[in-house]
Structure 1
C-alpha cells in the first residue's frame, strides 16, 4: 500500500482522496487548521447565524459531480433560481448590466450604445490584455463605467495589467439587438452562466464534503513548516515528521514553494510574483428577512468599501434563526497592489455605514450579530506576470514529483466542481506514476 500524503482538506484535497479511495488507498490528509474544508468551510456561531468562507454555491452542469454532492448531503439540498443585481451611482440594474441598461440615466445609455456600435464598426483590435478585450466587447463608455471599475475593486489592478486567460463564460458579450432590448425594456431576458444552483439544506456549503471525509486519514492542526522532496519528508509545526511515497498538495503555491528545502532561487522568486487577493469578510445578522431580492449584488462605486454582497439566509433558511436575515460583505486587498490596513474588525463599521448608504440597511434595523474574518488567499489575480511565473513554479514541482491541485495549486480561476476534479486528476497522475 503506497504512502500517499495529501496537503489540505478542502474540495481539491477530498477530490484526491475520493479518487485514491476508489483504488483502495486511504491517504494521510494533513490540515493546518483545526477544522476541515479549507475555503469551503462553514461556521455556525452561538447566535445561530451560519456563514461560509465567501459565497459558495454549486451550479455545476456535470451530472456526476451533482450526484456526488447530492449523495454527500443525503439528497437534502435547496434548488434555487438565482437572482443577481448591481449597484452603480444609486441605481440597481439587474445582472449583467450590459443586458439591463433600462432605468439608467438616458445620456449614459445613449453614450454606451453609440460607443458599442462604433466599436463594432472599427477595425479588429489586437487583444494584448483585458482592457483591449473590454473595449472591443463593449466600447469605451461601458467598459470604463462598469467592468474597469469593478476590476480595480475585485482584482485590485487595472485592466491593462490583466490577461484574458481567466474569462471563459464569465463575462457575456451581447449583440446590438440584446443591448437595445435591455435598454428599452425592463423585462429583457436573464442571460448568465448561472441560472440556478444547489446549496445544502443543513450545515452550510461544507456539508458537501461530509461523505468524503472518511476517505482519508485526516489530521487537523498540522501546519507544514518544511518539505524535503529528495528525502520525501515533511515536518510540521507541532513536531510531527512524516515521509511519503507520493505527495498531493493544494497548499497555495507561494506558501508551498518557500517551505521546500533547496528550492532554486528563480523558482522562489517566481512564486513571489504570483498575485492573489486577500479578503476581509464582514458578516451581519439582521432582525428581518427582507434585506434584498438578489442572492448576490456587485458594487462598482469605488467610494463604497465592499465589492460584493451575498445573503446567506437566501441560500437556506436553516442558515439563520427564524425571522432573521444575514449579509456577507467582501472587502478586497492585495499584498502586491493594495496592502491591507488595520485589522479585519476595523472594517465592520465602514461596511455597516455603506450598507446604510445603499439603503440595504435601515437606521432602526436590529443588528443581532457582527464579525469579520480574514481570508488570506481569496482570488488569483491574472496579471501579466502570472503566466511566466506560473510556468517556472509548475515546471519545478513536476520535476521534484509534487502534485499540485485546486485553485491555489493550479493558481487558476476554478469553480467548485473544477476544484474537486482537479484533485481527482492529480491523484490519477500519482497513481499512474507509482504503478
Structure 2
C-alpha cells in the first residue's frame, strides 16, 4: 500500500485514518505518548475517578459524526441537557451573563443597560479587534467586568490584542429586549450554542476512539525529533527512522516547524509568533456529589486562580465512585504572555483554597483524591500576530507537501467534530495528490 504516515492519534489523526481506510489504506500512526488518543485521552484513578484531559463533551449537530461516535460506543451514551453558570464577585449568574443580569448589584445592572442602549444608538464603527467588537456589542461596563476580564485569564492577553476570527457562535450578542428580560426576571430563557450533549456511559470520552484503533498501524512511544522533506524521512527519539510517501501531521505547528531540516528562517520566526495557552489541570475527588448544579462554571475574578471548572461526575455515573464527586480546574499560562514555571502539583493547594473561598468546597468535605498535570498546548490564542504568521507557516508546509490537521495543525479553535473532519480533509488532500500517487494506489489495489 502507499506508505502514508499520520503523526498523532487524537481525533484529527483518527479522522485522517478513517478517510484513508475508506480507500483501503492503513496508515502508520506515530504518537509520542505511551497511549493513543492525544488530548482525547481519559485516565482512571483509584478509587474509581475518571478524568478526561480537559472538558470533553460531544455536542456536534453533524448527524454523520453523531452516528459514527454513537456506533463506536455501541449506542451506550448519556444525553444531557447542559447547565452552565458563572462566578463573579460572589454571585453565581447563569450563562451567558449578558442574558442573566438578574440578582447582580443594582448599580451594575443599571450601568450595563444604559451602556447597552447608548451603544445601540451610535453609528457602526470599524471593528479592528476583539475589544472593538465587545464595546460595540455590550458597551464598556459589561465588556470590562466580564469578557475582558475573562480574556485576560483564558487567553492570557488583552482584548485589544485579539482578532475576532475565533468568535463564531461562542459569544451571544443579545437584543435589548433579551437583556432587559434577563435583568428583571430570574427565569429568562437559556440561550447558548450548546443545549445538550452526549457523553459515553463508560470509560470516559476516549471511548469514542476505541473502534478507530484498527484503522491505523499504531506506534506508541515514538517522539518525533526531525523531518527531512528532501528524502521523506522521519526520525524519532528512540532511534527509529522511517520513510513516507505522504505525511499528515497533527503535531503543534511550532514543534513541527523547528524539527524540519532546512526550514527557512522566516518560516521558523513565523512559527514562534504563533501563540497558544498551556494549562495545569488539577483534578479533585470529594466525598460528596452535590457540589454544583452546573456541568461547567466560568470564573471571572482575577484573584481566583482557575478560569473554568468542570464536574466530571455529572457527565456519567461511572466517572466517580458512588456518592462522591469530582472537580477539574483549569489554570492557564502561555509561553508568550504568562510563562509557566514550577511543577503542576504546586497548583493543587491553591485550587483547593479557592474552591473553599468561593464556597464549592465546605470545611466538612474530605478531599479523597488529588492530582495535577501540565499540558504544554491547550487553546489557540487568536492574537493579532496569528493570521500573518499562520499564512507563512501553512504556505511553507503546502510547498513541501506536508498535510496538517487538528487544533494544533490547523492552529484554530476546533471542537471535537471539527478536529475529526479536519483529519478527514487532510487525508482527502493526500488522496487528491497528482497522478504519481494515484498510480501507486491503483497498482497496490489492483
Superposition TM-score tier, normalisation by shorter sequence: over 0.9
Please give the alpha-carbon distance, in whole angstroms, between the structure 1 residues aligned to 2:150 and 2:317: 30
Please give the alpha-carbon distance, in whole angstroms, between the structure 2 residues aligned to 1:325 and 1:357: 18
CA RMSD of aligned residues (A): 0.5
Give the structure 2 partner of residue 237 of structure 1: 237
Give the structure 1 partner of residue 67 of structure 2: 67
Please give the alpha-carbon distance, in whole angstroms, between the structure 2 residues aligned to 1:418 and 1:341: 32
Please give the alpha-carbon distance, in whole angstroms, between the structure 2 residues aligned to 1:215 and 1:236: 22
Please give the alpha-carbon distance, in whole angstroms, between the structure 2 residues aligned to 1:47 and 1:328: 16
Give the structure 1 partner of residue 443 of structure 2: none
Secondary structure of 1:211's aligned partner: helix
1:29-428 alignment runs, 5 A limit: 29-428=29-428
Secondary structure of 2:432's aligned partner: helix
What is the TM-score when the length of structure 2 is the normalising length? 0.97
Instruction: Provide Cα deviations, 1:92-138, integer angstroms capped at 9, x if missing partner.
Output: 00000000000000000000000000000012121000000000000
CA apart distance, 1:340: 1.3
Please give the alpha-carbon distance, in whole angstroms, between the structure 1 residues aligned to 2:85 and 2:218: 40
Give the structure 1 partner of residue 14 of structure 2: 14
Please give the alpha-carbon distance, in whole angstroms, between the structure 1 residues aligned to 2:140 and 2:115: 6
Give the structure 1 partner of residue 444 of structure 2: none
Give the structure 2 partner of residue 25 of structure 1: 25
Instruction: Provide Cα deviations, 1:307-359, integer angstroms capped at 9, x if missing partner.
Output: 00000000011011111000000000001001113211000000000000000
Secondary structure of 2:298's aligned partner: strand
Secondary structure of 2:309's aligned partner: strand
- Number of aligned residue pairs: give it: 435
CA apart distance, 1:364: 1.4
Give the structure 1 partner of residue 441 of structure 2: none
Secondary structure of 1:212's aligned partner: helix
What is the TM-score when the length of structure 1 is the normalising length? 1.00
Unaligned runs of 5+ in 1: none
Please give the alpha-carbon distance, in whole angstroms, between the structure 2 residues aligned to 1:410 and 1:384: 17
Instruction: Provide Cα deviations, 1:381-429, integer angstroms capped at 9, x if missing partner.
Output: 0000000000000000000000000000000000000000000001000
Please give the alpha-carbon distance, in whole angstroms, between the structure 2 residues aligned to 1:385 and 1:395: 16
Secondary structure of 2:124's aligned partner: coil
Secondary structure of 1:33's aligned partner: coil
CA apart distance, 1:47: 2.2
CA apart distance, 1:371: 0.4
Please give the alpha-carbon distance, in whole angstroms, between the structure 2 residues aligned to 1:163 and 1:220: 37
Please give the alpha-carbon distance, in whole angstroms, between the structure 1 residues aligned to 2:341 and 2:101: 36
Secondary structure of 1:429's aligned partner: helix
Instruction: Provide Cα deviations, 1:280-322, integer angstroms capped at 9, x if missing partner.
Output: 0000000010000000000000000000000000001101111
Instruction: Provide Cα deviations, 1:29-66, integer angstroms capped at 9, x if missing partner.
Output: 00000000001100001221110000000000000000
Secondary structure of 2:123's aligned partner: coil
Please give the alpha-carbon distance, in whole angstroms, between the structure 2 residues aligned to 1:21 and 1:164: 37
Secondary structure of 2:149's aligned partner: helix
Secondary structure of 2:165's aligned partner: coil
